[in-house]
């Protein structure tokens, strides 16, 4: 049954594969084009496995910015993962520390979205951890394969075709199923507006500010609706 | 790498720091926070995390083109996003919405 759930996770992530692949390619190309050598680009993608943090750190590495700035930037860009892992904590609490560490390493935007979508549909699905492991490890393979191709074939891949857009568009079908009620829609609107307004804030803090503002909005709307319905 | 660029030691340490940061933000709470019990209010808020996170990543990517806000109906990225959304709404096909959105984007970039 565990095995079945694992492969179900893989299968349900696959429709997002073209987007993941395009985004990995773009990141690989960007790493090499910014001036990082092929060896270091490969080391970085396999160790860090954090696309947005890698991209944010690149200009810092190339200009030899102070190391604390590099670390601070990587932490800030990854702050949304703290929110994701908080949401996943209740489902992973019972596992061994090594399993929690490994599953944490596999957390990404798409894997987390698929896991959450499953829990919305089937809150009591018993093999949810295996399902997550399947989707997230599939995402890992797709991402690393495409990053390596991007790194090795950087000069041959034309970025002007809008490849990066494919990585963005794939988020739309992931987002739509979550917009099922007023609180969620309100949260999505506020998260979008704050993220756009905060786009130029340092350390990509507009992103995590948008997420938190959206969550607060959704929560407030949920409470308001509950109060209206109460007798 | 030329001589004025980053050295090997610097790059290794920097990459290890990025790796540590990624591990800390993703696994930190899972490894050391198992004693935490969230209040129901926090749990309710966390249910909205995926929707808000996807929106906060997606929307700026559609309305910013080359670091400039382009919030108008002639922004091909924005139109492609709307098209992708409509296609998914009607056909519930993830691949279809991606191909449709990219096609709209390519056509618009070619003709506009």
- Encode pLDDT of A46-81 as tens digits: 999 998 899 999 989 999 999 999 999 999 999 999
A165 vs B101: CA distance, rounded Å: 9
Number of domains in chain B: 2
Question: Which structural domain range is residue B20 located in?
Answer: 1-36
How many residue contacts between A and B have a Cβ separation below 8 Å? 271
Cα of A198 vs its chain's centroid, Å: 19
Q: Check pLDDT > 50 for residue A176.
A: yes
Contacts of A86 in chain B (CB under 8 A): 29, 33, 38, 42, 46, 49
**Both B82 and B96 in a single domain?**
yes
Q: Of A97, A99, A117, A105, nearest to A175 (Cα)?
A: A117
Q: Which residues contact B50 (CB under 8 A, 6 or more apart)?
A: A84, A87, A112, A113, A116, A117, A174, A178
Q: Check pLDDT > 50 for residue A218.
A: yes
Contact at CB, B56 and A218, closer than 8 angstroms: no
Of the candidates B1, B48, B77, the beta carbon closest to that of A214 is on B48
Q: Check pLDDT > 50 for residue A128.
A: yes
**Both B81 and B60 in a single domain?**
yes
**Both B89 and B101 in a single domain?**
yes
Q: Check pLDDT > 90 for residue B110.
A: no
Contacts of B22 in chain A (CB under 8 A): 48-50, 53, 74, 78, 81, 105
**Both B58 and B93 in a single domain?**
yes
A4 vs A13: CA distance, rounded Å: 14
Interface test with chain A among B48, B75, B77, B108, by most A beta carbons within 10 Å: B48
| Domain spans, chain A | 2-177, 179-231
pLDDT at site B2: 47
Residue B64 bridge partners (DSSP): B69
A124 vs A145: CA distance, rounded Å: 34
Question: Chain B: residue nearest A50 by CA?
Answer: B22
Asked if B55 reaches chain A (Cβ–Cβ under 8 Å), the answer is yes
Q: Which residues contact A66 (CB under 8 A, 6 or more apart)?
A: none
**Both B44 and B21 in a single domain?**
no
B residues 59-88 lying closer than 8 A (beta carbon) to A? 59-64, 69, 77, 80-81, 84-85, 88
DSSP state of A201: S
**Both B49 and B95 in a single domain?**
yes
pLDDT at site A139: 97
**For the segment B42-101, what is each residue's pLDDT rounded down to a tens digit?**
999 999 999 999 999 999 999 999 889 999 999 999 999 999 999 999 999 999 999 999
pLDDT at site B1: 44
pLDDT at site A117: 96
**Both B82 and B101 in a single domain?**
yes
Q: What is the mean pLDDT of residues A144-161?
A: 92
**Both B29 and B52 in a single domain?**
no
Q: At what angle do helices A128-152 and A97-105 cross, to 10 degrees?
A: 40
Asked if A196 reaches chain B (Cβ–Cβ under 8 Å), the answer is yes
pLDDT at site B111: 84
Asked if A100 contacts B38 with a C-beta cutoff of 8 angstroms, the reply is: no
Asked if A59 contacts B6 with a C-beta cutoff of 8 angstroms, the reply is: no
Q: Check pLDDT > 60 for residue A112.
A: yes
pLDDT at site B6: 87
Percentage with pLDDT > 90 across chain A:
87
Q: Check pLDDT > 90 for residue A191.
A: yes
Average pLDDT score, chain A? 94
């Amino acid at each position: 049954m565990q095995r079945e759930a694992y492969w179900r996770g893989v299968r349900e992530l696959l429709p997002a594969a073209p987007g993941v692949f395009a985004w990995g390619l773009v990141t690989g190309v960007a790493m090499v084009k910014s001036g990082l050598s092929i060896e270091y680009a490969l080391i970085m993608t396999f160790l860090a496995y954090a696309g947005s943090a890698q991209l944010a750190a690149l200009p810092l590495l190339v200009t030899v910015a102070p190391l604390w700035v590099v670390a601070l930037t990587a932490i800030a860009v990854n702050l949304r993962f703290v929110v994701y892992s908080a949401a996943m904590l209740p489902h992973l609490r019972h596992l061994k520390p090594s399993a929690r560490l490994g599953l944490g390493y596999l957390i990404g935007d798409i894997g987390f979205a698929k896991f959450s979508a499953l829990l919305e549909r089937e809150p009591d699905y018993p093999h949810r951890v295996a399902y997550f492991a399947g989707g997230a490890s599939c995402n890992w393979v797709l991402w690393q394969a495409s990053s390596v191709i991007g790194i090795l074939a950087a000069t041959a891949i034309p970025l002007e075709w809008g490849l990066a857009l494919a990585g963005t568009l794939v988020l739309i079908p992931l987002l739509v199923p979550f917009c099922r009620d007023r609180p969620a829609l309100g949260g999505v609107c506020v998260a979008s507006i704050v993220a756009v307004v905060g786009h130029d804030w340092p350390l990509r803090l507009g992103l995590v500010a948008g997420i938190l503002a959206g969550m607060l909005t959704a929560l407030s709307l949920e409470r308001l609706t509950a109060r209206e319905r109460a007798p | 790498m030329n001589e004025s660029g980053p050295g090997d030691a610097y790059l290794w340490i920097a990459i290890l720091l990025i790796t540590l940061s990624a591990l800390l933000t993703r696994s930190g709470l899972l490894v050391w926070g198992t004693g935490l019990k969230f209040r129901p209010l926090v749990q309710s808020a966390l249910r909205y995390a995926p929707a808000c996170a996807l929106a906060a990543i997606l929307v700026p990517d559609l309305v910013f083109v080359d670091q400039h806000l382009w919030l108008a109906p002639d922004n091909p990225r924005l139109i492609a996003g709307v098209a992708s959304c409509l296609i998914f709404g009607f056909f519930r096909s993830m691949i279809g919405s991606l191909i449709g959105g990219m096609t709209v984007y390519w056509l618009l970039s070619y003709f506009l």
